[in-house]
């Protein structure tokens, strides 16, 4: 657990950048989750496809931005990943096909 917490802390910067890149929107197809905080910023979480506890790394290709509901469904649901690389993650989650494009526009923030 300590290791998991340390990894999450170390990756805080990447996590916040990913949320910015996707404009604080859940990346699961057709999700319209809207949980604004007191500043009007939509609440989202960054999920590891391969869990940190199973040595999944906090790198592009293993991280997606999800609403809390889809995050839990990813963790608990019947999941089958077909493709996972730095550009795309696709698979089946509880019988629903999904394809998430990871080709973010990195250039606008990293100068
Ligand atoms: Zn969602």
All structural domains of the chain with their residue ranges: 2-103
Q: How much distance in Å is there from the Cα of 77 to the middle of ligand 1? A: 14
Check residue 111 and give its pLDDT.
Answer: 40
Whole-number mean pLDDT of the chain? 86
Q: How much distance in Å is there from the Cα of 56 to the middle of ligand 1? A: 21
C-alpha–C-alpha distance, residues 23 and 17, integer Å: 10
pLDDT in tens, 29-54: 999 999 999 999 999 999 998 888 88
Residues in the chain: 111
Maximum Cα–Cα distance for the chain, whole Å? 41
Q: For residue 39, give both structure tokens.
A: 């500043």
């Amino acid at each position: 657990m300590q290791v998991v917490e340390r990894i999450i802390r170390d990756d805080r910067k990447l996590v916040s950048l990913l949320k910015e890149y996707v404009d604080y929107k859940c990346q699961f197809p057709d999700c319209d989750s809207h949980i604004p905080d007191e500043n009007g910023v939509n609440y989202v979480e960054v999920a590891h496809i391969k869990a940190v506890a199973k040595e999944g790394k906090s790198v592009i290709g293993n991280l997606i931005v999800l609403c809390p509901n889809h995050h839990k469904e990813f963790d608990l649901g019947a999941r089958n990943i077909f493709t996972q690389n730095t550009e795309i993650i696709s698979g089946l989650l509880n019988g629903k096909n999904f394809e998430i494009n990871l080709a973010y526009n990195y250039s606008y923030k990293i100068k």
